[in-house]
Amino acid sequence: MVKVRKRGEEVRRFILERVEQHPSDIGRVAADHFGVSRQAVNKHLAALVEQSALLAQGSTRNRNYRLAPLVEWRKTLVLGPSLAEDVVWHDYLTNPLGQLPDNVLGIWHYAFTEMFNNVLDHSSASTATLRLTKTAAGTDLLLLDDGVGIFRKIQHALGLLDERHAVLELAKGKFTTDPNRHTGEGIFFASRMLDKFVILSGGVYFSHEHGKDWDWILEQEDPSVGTAVFMRLQNHTARTTKSVFDQFTSEDLAFTKTVVPVRLAQYGDESLVSRSQAKRLLARIDRFRVVILDFQAVEAIGPSFADEIFRVFQGQHPEIALTSINATPDVLAMIERARAAMQSRLL
């Protein structure tokens, strides 16, 4: 009897964790996974609907399911010098977040306070709006401000030609427009602690998802005002702030390792062929001891691009461990060609 009840809990948790990816066929997916009949799974679906954990739409044959929000909360704050991120966290967010495992609350505490502090110190915004939606499976938090826009501010601070170049700087980590007050680590670590992290500002949309080794950007036709930061996290993830910090820090807790998504250095159908593109990619990475260049979604690179990175830069910075991942055979060939040229020069 206990085993039957335990299996039922497993089936319902499986449904809740995957229904967003399979709204129309979650019954079949669950039945295949557990090796049970569709009728058995339908009983669990009906129970979850009755418990208000799921919402069902459509006829029996074409029924779709989605997670029912347990909490929907919104708050707009007027920003001023007396407002602090830790006060907003304790006074406003802890109640709608509710009972969550300590590690999950720890991630939310870090991610929210880092992002809200950026709004207070960098955005020049007058208001900020928080929107939280919590379901049985996970929690979404949206932070909106009416400020100057994060990518535009970075573009101006670095003298970049394009807002899209700012995304690449954020992806590397250790960037801030106010180094006297900030380390520039908040966005890098928050984006890797959460299941999904999105920044929309101006005409640029930046996204990082857990389990994927790359970030991506899109341009939108209608530029937005200010900055929107969207954060998502499962309510029962085993991830911790420490486990994420440990991936990118050394024994002395210094932030010494970064993964640079090479794809962010190209736009649209642009090919990565020039030394100027390589120099854009390499900007500021001499601040790290270990640099991993992620070539996910990069089909090919030119000889000058590869030479600038793997011969010129590596020769100038032998103390940096520079490696690559997710490279196609064509990309690997160019990398090896540049490395061979550097080795022959040393002989």
301 and 182 co-located in one domain: no
| 87 in the same domain as 202 | yes
Shared domain check, 86 and 34: no
How far apart are alpha carbons 334 and 338 in whole angstroms?
6
Residues 229 and 299 in one domain: no
Q: Write the pLDDT tens digit of every residue in 200-238.
A: 988 788 888 887 655 555 555 555 678 999 999 988 888
Q: Are 206 and 198 in contact (CB under 8 A)?
A: yes
- Whether 199 is in a domain gets the answer yes
For the chain, residues with pLDDT lower than 70 are 1-6, 174-184, 212-224, 250-253, 267-268, 345-347
* Same domain, residue pair 108 and 39: no
Give the total number of structural domains in the chain: 3
Chain length of the chain: 347
Predicted local confidence at residue 23, as pLDDT = 93
Q: Is residue 251 part of a domain?
A: no
Same domain, 120 and 155: yes
Q: How far apart are CA 298 and CA 318, in angstroms?
A: 25
Please give the Cα distance from 300 to 41 (Å, whole number). 47
| Amino acid sitting at position 184 | G
CATH assignment at residue 12: 1.10.10.10
Q: Domain range for residue 299?
A: 256-346
Residues 134 and 235 in one domain: yes
Residue 99 shares a structural domain with residue 241: yes
Please give the Cα distance from 104 to 338 (Å, whole number). 44
- Domain CATH code at residue 192: 3.30.565.10
DSSP E strands, the chain: 54-57, 64-67, 71-78, 127-134, 138-145, 196-209, 215-234, 257-261, 290-294, 321-325
Claim to verify: residue 205 and residue 79 sit in the same structural domain:
yes
Q: Which of 13, 46, 67 is the last residue of a domain?
A: 67
pLDDT of residue 25: 94
Q: Pick from 38, 67, 96: which residue ends a domain?
A: 67
Q: Considering the domain boundaries, does residue 184 fall inside one?
A: yes
Pair 129, 216 in one domain: yes
Q: Is the pTM of this model over 0.85?
A: no
Of 215, 246, 277, at which residue does a domain stop? 246
53 within 8 A of 14, measured Cβ to Cβ:
no
